[in-house]
């Protein structure tokens, strides 16, 4: 049973985007458009070049922000404010998800490559406010992104996460490699499965999956 695999878990770590809300909400479409616009303005390049750079940085550095900081020494705070200035009007409250998260034993945190203020807004729109013991953004990892192990280590140290008694829920398979190596139970939340020894479970529906743990 799925439930027995999580019997020792006392620390629950959730990614935000496309994990605590479904990909069909397409929030990242808005964020990516904001990223491209920011890169165009800061670097003075056209849309096509900016979009390519955004994708290249995501693949090679973990996030577009990490690439911009490495190659162009940009200030991360204005960037984070600009790219997360999106509408959340179409996000829906998920009362069942809130109920299942509330029922999990132990500590629960959100850890995103976005910013903590943005995460707070998304959680409110999903009806998940007040359910987590901490909300951590890329700023809490000194702007180093998942999938870097050092980013996880920095956030988990602040949050008091015991990785040998913890589970990680993520929509990006790259971001489950370090948690797996640190002894965590890993859950890939995505419409499509992904092969890899670092992924213990796959679900297309986080709400339904957490319902199995009750």
Span 181-206, average pLDDT: 97
Domains held by the chain: number: 2
136 plus 98 within the same structural domain: yes
115 plus 198 within the same structural domain: yes
Span 162-167, average pLDDT: 98
105-114 pLDDT, tens digit per residue, is: 999 999 999 9
7 plus 31 within the same structural domain: no
Distance separating alpha carbons of residues 126 and 212, to the nearest angstrom: 21
Q: What is the CATH number of the domain that holds 75?
A: 1.10.150.450
36-74 pLDDT, tens digit per residue, is: 999 999 999 999 999 999 999 989 998 999 999 999 999
73 plus 150 within the same structural domain: no
Residue partners of 146: CB distance under 8 A and separation at least 6: 15, 62, 111, 113, 152, 170, 172, 174, 175, 178
Per-residue pLDDT, 186: 98
15 plus 50 within the same structural domain: no
Span 132-153, average pLDDT: 97
Q: What is the residue range of 108's domain?
A: 2-21+92-211
- Do 204 and 190 meet the contact criterion of CB atoms below 8 Å apart? yes
Q: Which two tokens stand for residue 192?
A: 């499509």
Per-residue pLDDT, 1: 78
CA angle 184–105–24, rounded 5-degree value: 70
41 plus 133 within the same structural domain: no
Q: Which two tokens stand for residue 67?
A: 């690439």
């Amino acid at each position: 049973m799925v439930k027995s695999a999580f019997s020792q878990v006392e620390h629950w770590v959730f990614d935000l985007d496309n994990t605590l809300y479904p990909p069909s909400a397409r929030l990242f479409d808005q964020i990516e458009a904001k990223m491209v616009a920011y890169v165009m303005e800061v670097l003075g390049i056209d849309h096509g070049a900016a979009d390519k750079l955004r994708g290249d940085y995501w693949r090679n550095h973990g996030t577009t922000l990490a690439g911009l900081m490495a190659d162009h020494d940009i200030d991360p705070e204005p960037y984070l404010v600009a790219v997360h200035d999106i509408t959340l009007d179409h996000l829906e409250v998920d009362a069942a998800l809130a109920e299942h998260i509330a029922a999990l034993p132990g500590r629960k945190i959100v850890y995103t490559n976005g910013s903590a203020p943005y995460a707070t807004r998304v959680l409110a729109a999903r009806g998940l406010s007040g359910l987590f013991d901490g909300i951590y953004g890329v700023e809490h990892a000194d702007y180093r992104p998942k999938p870097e192990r050092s980013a996880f280590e920095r956030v988990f140290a602040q949050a008091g996460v015991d990785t040998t008694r913890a589970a990680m829920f993520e929509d990006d398979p790259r971001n489950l490699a370090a948690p797996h190596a640190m002894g965590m139970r890993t859950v890939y939340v995505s419409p499509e499965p992904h092969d890899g020894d670092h992924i213990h479970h796959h679900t297309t529906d986080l709400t339904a999956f957490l319902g199995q743990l009750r």
